[in-house]
A = this chain, B = another copy of it.
Amino acid sequence: MVELSAALAGQHNNILAKMVPSPIRVVDDKFSTIDGILKLTLGEPDFAAPEHIKQAIIRDVQADDSHYSSSQGVLALREAISDYLVDRFDTPRYDPATEVSVTVGAAEAISATFQALFNPGDELIVPTPTFPLYASVAQTLGIEVIGLNTAPDFIVTPAKLTAILTAHPNAKAILLNYPSNPTGVTYSETELKALVAILREHQLFVIADEIYAELVYDAKHTSMARLLPEQTVLISGVSKSHAMTGYRIGYVVGPAELMKQVGKAHQAMVATAPGPMMAGALEALRNGREDPEKMRVVYEERRDLVLAGLAEAGFTAAQPGGAFYIFAKIPDFLNTNDTEFVYDLADTVKLGVAPGSIFGAGGEGYIRISYAASTENLKSAITRLKHYVDLRK
C-alpha cells in the first residue's frame, strides 16, 4: 500500500470523481458473494473464439508481429472491414485508407467517436433503456445526454423522434444501438426508413452502434451506414459476432472528414490496437463469415427457450429480435421494484439477473436476462424462476 500525500487528497478530475462504478458490475459483484448462484447478468458469449481465428493469431505471433502497427490498424484489416460491410450489409464502400479506424473494442470506438464529434455542452440524444457506457463516456467529456424513454415497445418511433428533435433543435447527434443492449429489441428496415426520413431533415449525426448486427433472429439487419451514410458514424466490431470479446477489436467507419478526427483521438488514446489481435479480426472477417450463423442458431434456440419459460412464469417481454438479452416485465403479482426484486430472487432461489432500472428511464419494473449461457444453465434458471414465483405468488 502506498499513502497519498494528504495535501493531494481529492485533487483529481471532478467529473470522474463523481462517476460511480458500472452498476451492472456492482450488481454482478454482489451476486458473486452468494454461494451456488446462477448468474445471467453479464453480456458475453459463452462460446470460445473459433479455432481458425485462434490459429491466425498464433501464426501472427510466430511470425514476430510484435512491432507497432499502423495507428489506424493494419491496412489489410481495414480493407476487410470495408469489404465485409459492403458484402454483408450493402453499405457504400468505405475507403480503407481514410474512412476506417480499428479500435480497442467497441468501447474505445465509442470513446474516440465521442471525443472526435463533441464539444463540451453539446447535446446527444440517447434512447433509454440503454447500455450505461454511453452516458459514462459522455459525462467525462462534458456532453449533455438527452434521454429518450422508449418504453414500452423499446423502439424509437417517428413520433418520439420528431418530438425530441423539436424539443432539442440543437442536438448534435443521436445514438442508435440496435439490436439493443439491454432490451434485445431491433428495428425492421421499414421502421428505420421512417426514422431516416426524419433524420435527413435535421442537421445531426447518427452514431450507430451495431455491435450485435450478426445476432439478429427474425429479419435481416439493416445498417444505418446503408440508409444514411452521409450522417452516420458506424461503430461495430468482431467481439460479439465471433465470440472474441477478450481480444478487443472494434472499428469505426464514417465519412473521411470525421474519421480524420476519430483517428486523431484514437492515436492519442491508445496509439494502435495490438497486432496479433488484429490478425484474429482479419481472419474473422475474411474467412469466418459463417461463424456467426452457427452461434446465431444456438442463441435463437436459447432465446425461444427462455421466452417460453418466462411466459410460463407469468412474465412478458418485448420481442427480442437480436443480441442475447431479454428485457422482461416483472408481473404485477410480484414486487415490481426491480432492484428489490433481483436481490430477493438472488437470495431466495440463487438466480442473478440485472435490474432494468440501471439501464435508465423506461427500465423500471423490468429485468434483463442474458441468454449467453449454456442451455443447461438456462433451463435451471427457468426452474428457479418458476420456483420463486410459486413461493411469492
Residue of B nearest to A67 (CB): B246
Q: How far is the CA of A92 from the CA of B3 in the complex (A)?
A: 10
In the complex, whether A268 has a CB less than 8 A from a CB of chain B is: yes
Which residues of B sit under 8 angstroms from A255, Cβ to Cβ?
Answer: 2-4
Assess the A67–B44 pair: CB atoms within 8 A: yes
In the complex, whether A274 has a CB less than 8 A from a CB of chain B is: yes
Q: How far is the CA of A248 from the CA of B272 in the complex (A)?
A: 8
Contact with B along A328-372 (1 / 0, CB 8 A): 000000000000000000000000000000000000000000000
Contact flag A66-B16 (CB < 8 Å), given A2-B230, A61-B58? no
Which residues of B sit under 8 angstroms from A275, Cβ to Cβ?
Answer: 246-247
Contact flag A245-B2 (CB < 8 Å), given A13-B118, A116-B13? no
Q: Which of A2, A94, A225, A253 has the most chain B CB atoms inside 10 A of its CB?
A: A2
Which residues of B sit under 8 angstroms from A373, Cβ to Cβ?
Answer: none
B58, B95, B248: the one within 8 Å of A1 (CB):
B95
Q: How far is the CA of A277 from the CA of B120 in the complex (A)?
A: 35
B64, B256, B258: the one within 8 Å of A48 (CB):
B64
Q: Which among A104-112, A153-161, A215-223 touches the partner chain?
A: A104-112
Assess the B271–A274 pair: CB atoms within 8 A: no
Chain B proximity of A89: nearest CB distance (Å): 13
Which residues of B sit under 8 angstroms from A136, Cβ to Cβ?
Answer: 268
Assess the A64–B92 pair: CB atoms within 8 A: no
Residue of B nearest to A253 (CB): B2
- Total identical chains: 2
In the complex, whether A69 has a CB less than 8 A from a CB of chain B is: yes
* Interface set, chain A 1-31, CB cutoff 8 A to B: 1-5, 7-14, 16-17, 19, 21-22, 25
Residue of B nearest to A225 (CB): B2
Q: How far is the CA of A267 from the CA of B19 in the complex (A)?
A: 12
In the complex, whether A231 has a CB less than 8 A from a CB of chain B is: yes
Q: How far is the CA of A229 from the CA of B265 in the complex (A)?
A: 31
In the complex, whether A54 has a CB less than 8 A from a CB of chain B is: yes
Q: How far is the CA of A355 from the CA of B265 in the complex (A)?
A: 25
Residue of B nearest to A5 (CB): B230
Assess the B7–A269 pair: CB atoms within 8 A: no
Chain B proximity of A237: nearest CB distance (Å): 11
Q: How far is the CA of A152 from the CA of B329 in the complex (A)?
A: 70
Contact flag A248-B268 (CB < 8 Å), given A4-B257, A12-B117, A99-B1? no
Q: Which of A12, A99, A203, A255 has the most chain B CB atoms inside 10 A of its CB?
A: A12
Assess the A269–B111 pair: CB atoms within 8 A: yes
Residue of B nearest to A265 (CB): B16
Assess the A13–B119 pair: CB atoms within 8 A: yes
In the complex, whether A270 has a CB less than 8 A from a CB of chain B is: yes
Which residues of A are in contact with B by a Cβ distance under 8 Å?
Answer: 1-5, 7-14, 16-17, 19, 21-22, 25, 42, 44-45, 48-49, 54, 57-58, 61-62, 64-69, 71, 92-95, 99, 104-105, 107-108, 111, 115-120, 133, 136-137, 140, 172, 203-205, 225, 229-231, 243-248, 253-258, 261, 264-265, 267-277
What 14 additional pairs, Cβ within 8 angstroms, besides A9-B257, A12-B257, A69-B246? A2-B253, A3-B229, A11-B172, A11-B205, A13-B265, A25-B71, A42-B68, A54-B61, A66-B243, A246-B274, A248-B271, A248-B273, A269-B269, A276-B277
